[in-house]
């Protein structure tokens, strides 16, 4: 079975703080992809980042960075110098070869509130 767990239900920070969103996943697939999506109050899911299971290199893209550790099945996401516009619900998701990569398995989401 595949499962994504986001233990943090809500996080509240003050603008310019760094914030890390945790994600732990379970899968028996040999090849899989991990994603982060953002859902602002408007409701539309916006793709942020994607990582495949063979590439554990951590990267930074602007204010976003992610830490993929296969040994602990974690795919954490960090926003540096948070801004009010970052306020949204963030979802971690998994897609594996057993499902033909056709279904995304989402976590329950973490609601991030950035206050001025």
Partner 1 sequence: GAGVSQTPSNKVTEKGKYVELRCDPISGHTALYWYRQSLGQGPEFLIYFQGTGAADDSGLPNDRFFAVRPEGSVSTLKIQRTERGDSAVYLCASSQRGGEAYNEQFFGPGTRLTVL
Shortest gap between Cβ of 79 and partner 1 (angstroms)?
A: 19
| Selection from 111, 101, 110 nearest residue 2 by Cα | 101
Q: Applying CB under 8 A, does 33 fall inside the site for partner 1?
A: yes
Q: Count interface residues toward partner 1 (CB under 8 A).
A: 26
Q: Applying CB under 8 A, does 50 fall inside the site for partner 1?
A: yes
In the bound state with partner 1, the residue whose beta carbon lies nearer, of 3 and 16, is 3
* Interacting residues of 5 by C-beta distance below 8 A, sequence separation 6+: 23, 24, 25, 26, 107, 108
> How do strand 88-96 and strand 105-106 relate by DSSP bridges?
antiparallel
Site string for partner 1, 85-114 (x = CB under 8 A): ------x-x-x---xxxxxxxxxxx-----
Q: How far apart are CA 98 and CA 21, in angstroms?
A: 27
In the bound state with partner 1, the residue whose beta carbon lies nearer, of 13 and 104, is 104
């Amino acid at each position: 079975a595949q499962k994504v767990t986001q233990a943090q239900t809500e996080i509240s920070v003050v603008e310019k703080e760094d914030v890390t969103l945790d994600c732990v996943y379970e899968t028996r697939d040999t090849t899989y992809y991990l994603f982060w999506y953002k859902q602002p109050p408007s409701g539309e899911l916006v793709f942020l980042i994607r990582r495949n299971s063979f590439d554990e290199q951590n990267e930074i893209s602007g204010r976003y960075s992610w830490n993929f550790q296969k040994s602990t099945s974690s795919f954490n996401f960090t926003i540096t110098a948070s801004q009010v516009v970052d306020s949204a619900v963030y979802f971690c998701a998994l897609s594996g070869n057993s499902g033909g990569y056709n279904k995304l398995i989402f976590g329950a989401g973490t609601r991030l509130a950035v206050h001025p």
